[in-house]
A and B are shown apart, each in its own frame.
Chain A
Amino acid sequence: MTAPLLELDTVSSGYGAVQALREVSITVAPGEIVTLIGANGAGKSTLLMTICGDPRARNGRVVFEGRDITQMPTHQIMRLGLAQVPEGRRVFPRMSVMENLLMGAQVAGHDPAPLLDQVFALFPRLKERETQRGGTLSGGEQQMLAIGRALMSKPRLLLLDEPSLGLAPLIVRQIFAAIRDLNEKEGLTVLLVEQNANLALRLAHRGYVLVNGRITLAGPGRDLLAMPEVRDAYLGGGH
């Protein structure tokens, strides 16, 4: 097995007195799509935020490309080649689509022109909306913009927090197809947090199940999908 791109080793974390993560260990190998599924409040988003150092891990280590980033300031972590698409998209509402995208390129300092072409090729809709304000886009377009903005830093690891949140099924499929494209064509490594376990496990190479801040199950996506306990808890039994 190659060296993991990202490794969390017995990481605990939380906000104030609330402990959201308890000794979580996961690995993400280069070129993989790894998904993390779990119910509301299981600690999925906290895990992504802890990778970025906000909140900081209380114990354990976060290692990215062999480098211990546990104590690194957030803004430095985000310059190492990770990009996060935050939960709820969080595009800049009064700034144009173009400005939103350029904000993504700002910190890493790559030449934005080829990256813009790449994002517009992936999401042609954004090209049409280029001069429109972020807040006036539809939910799906905002999600595309949030992903595009994250891609503008040319990341090696993309952290996606619930990209399907509040979107129509058709749009969700488009977004997931784009993620698969990025992974297969660009070799982008993805850590995907999702409530939509069915879609996420189909897309991902491997998956983890998070319950009350602990990893309870891990394995290839298809295997998890077949497990009765996963089906009952997260797929509503309807599939």
Chain B
Amino acid sequence: MTLRALKDAAITALVALGLFVPLVGLRTDVGPSGELVLRQRWGDVVILVALAFVGRLALLGWRGWRGDPKPASAARTEALRKAGLFVAPVLLGLAVLLPFIPGTGRYELDLGILVLTYVMLGWGLNIVVGLAGLLDLGYVAFYAVGAYSYALLATTFGLSFWICLPLAGLLAAFWGVLLGFPVLRLRGDYLAIVTLAFGEIIRVVLLNWVSLTNGPNGISGIPRPTFFGLTFSMSGEPDTFAGFFGIEPSPVHRVIFLYYLILGLALLTNWVSIRLRRQPLGRAWEALREDEIACRALGINVTTTKLTAFALGAMFAGIAGSFFATRQGFISPESFTFIESAIILAIVVLGGMGSQIGIAIAALVMIGGFEVFRDLDEWRMLVFGGAMVLIMVARPRGLVGHRTPSVVLRERRAIGAEHVAEGHG
């Protein structure tokens, strides 16, 4: 055992050596007269290789001490499921009460808004990727369509946020269908490539169609949302929020309002997804993810099923996009790069495809984690990548990897509940 562990660790160290010699050992610097100077850092390489050796040994030792990994028992899965039932209401309660928790300031609320935006985007993309199983790498395109729809409609025609919000959703859904049509025949990798390209096309068009979108300078002066016609200005006039309710004007009011707005929109996304999963359409999405040929054999119209998933996912991205525009007051193509699509997809995958609560937690961890590790500067990406690897090693199917059936016959449910109560579940 020890000999095998040593051999294993030695191989690891060898691999580390192979990697770190070019990556760390050799470094080119710009010399005093502008020429490249090769600097050798063998000491660092030795330290890193030793770390890999010791780390591998420690890992093997820990594994040996813990014994063979046992497959997750049914009891553990059940306990996890119950914990999940518990976690969702607690998180929801916290989310609703956040603005009133002592110590919550402007910064926490802004972070909350950011996290909730990604929760909403994650839930929206989950319809496409998690439920219908269509790998979409260009989801940010619909986010951009929504944001620009609101920005342009509001600044050009002076339409209010509340009229533009559904319009932006519809426009994004329309683009979803437009993209959906040509890519319907594609699957897996091919679909991913085309959606990736689509995301880039939208961004490049926004960048270059200067007469419409003002190009890289973006659109500024996007109107802020109103509370049933009451603005959030500091003047305290009767037609402002503070004036109408007779309270001291404060800039926090608008932030709290925006916070609840995105919370409501995210919950709407969640509610629609959960409802649809129990409907024939949602079941058809899941069946499509499982086996497209079987779906055809059952007479399911694969075309419309895919299109509805694309359209609905795009619609929620569009709504989130117009929220983003009204919150920022300024948008430019820079906000809609591929990395956004990647982050949203990572949230869906890490959360466990198809799991609503898993996605919410993943968004919280990822976006919150990004903020928490802000002080680490360039190390942030390393910590972040390491955390993702750890999650995928520990829970390869995502944080919440199991899937709850969407239908249980009524009498069965009663029996099931009895069993659980008696401890047979």
Contacts and interface: CB of A to CB of B under 8 A. Distances in A.
Interface in A26-80: 52, 54, 73-79
Contact of A106 (B300, B408, B409): B300
A91 B294 contact: yes
Given A75-B300, A75-B301, A106-B283, A98 B409 contact: yes
A188 B149 CA distance: 56
Contacts of B293: 86, 90
A95 interface: yes
Interface in B257-302: 280, 283-284, 286-287, 290-291, 293-302
A75 B406 CA distance: 24
Nearest to A113: B409
A131 B291 contact: no
B407 interface: yes
B299 A93 contact: no
B298 A102 contact: no
Nearest to A108: B299
A92 B299 contact: no
Nearest to B404: A96
B403 interface: yes
A78 B408 contact: no
Contact of A95 (B300, B301, B302, B405): B405
Nearest to A79: B299
Contacts of A177: none
Contacts of A76: 299
A103 B297 contact: no
B297 A52 contact: yes
Given A90-B291, A102-B407, A107 B300 contact: yes
Given A75-B301, A153-B299, A131 B294 contact: no
A74 B296 contact: yes
Contacts of A85: 297
A23 interface: no
A104 interface: yes
Contact of A107 (B291, B298, B407): B298
A95 B286 contact: yes
A195 interface: no
Contacts of A150: 297-298
B185 interface: no
Given A96-B407, A106-B300, A130 B294 contact: no
Interface size class of B (residues with CB under 8 A): 20 to 34
Contacts of B287: 92, 95, 103
Contact of A75 (B286, B290, B299): B299
Nearest to A88: B293
B236 to A, nearest CB: 57
Contact of A153 (B284, B298, B301): B298
B412 interface: yes
B297 A84 contact: yes
B291 A92 contact: yes
A99 interface: yes
Interface in B85-113: none
A131 B299 CA distance: 24
A92 B405 contact: no
A154 interface: no
A79 B299 CA distance: 6
A149 interface: yes
Nearest to A107: B299
A94 B290 contact: yes
A36 B286 CA distance: 33
Contacts of B290: 92-95
Given A90-B293, A95-B405, A99-B405, A149 B298 contact: yes
A41 B156 CA distance: 64
B284 to A, nearest CB: 7
Given A94-B403, A96-B407, A99-B405, A78 B283 contact: no
Nearest to B286: A95
A89 to B, nearest CB: 9
A52 B406 CA distance: 29
Given A106-B283, A106-B300, A107-B299, 16 more contacts: A52-B296, A74-B299, A85-B297, A86-B293, A91-B294, A93-B291, A95-B405, A96-B405, A98-B408, A99-B283, A102-B407, A104-B298, A106-B284, A107-B298, A131-B405, A150-B298
Interface of A: 52, 54, 73-79, 83-86, 90-96, 98-99, 102-104, 106-108, 130-131, 149-150, 153
Interface of B: 280, 283-284, 286-287, 290-291, 293-302, 403, 405-409, 412, 416
11 contacts: A75-B300, A75-B302, A77-B299, A83-B298, A94-B286, A95-B290, A98-B407, A99-B406, A106-B280, A106-B283, A153-B299
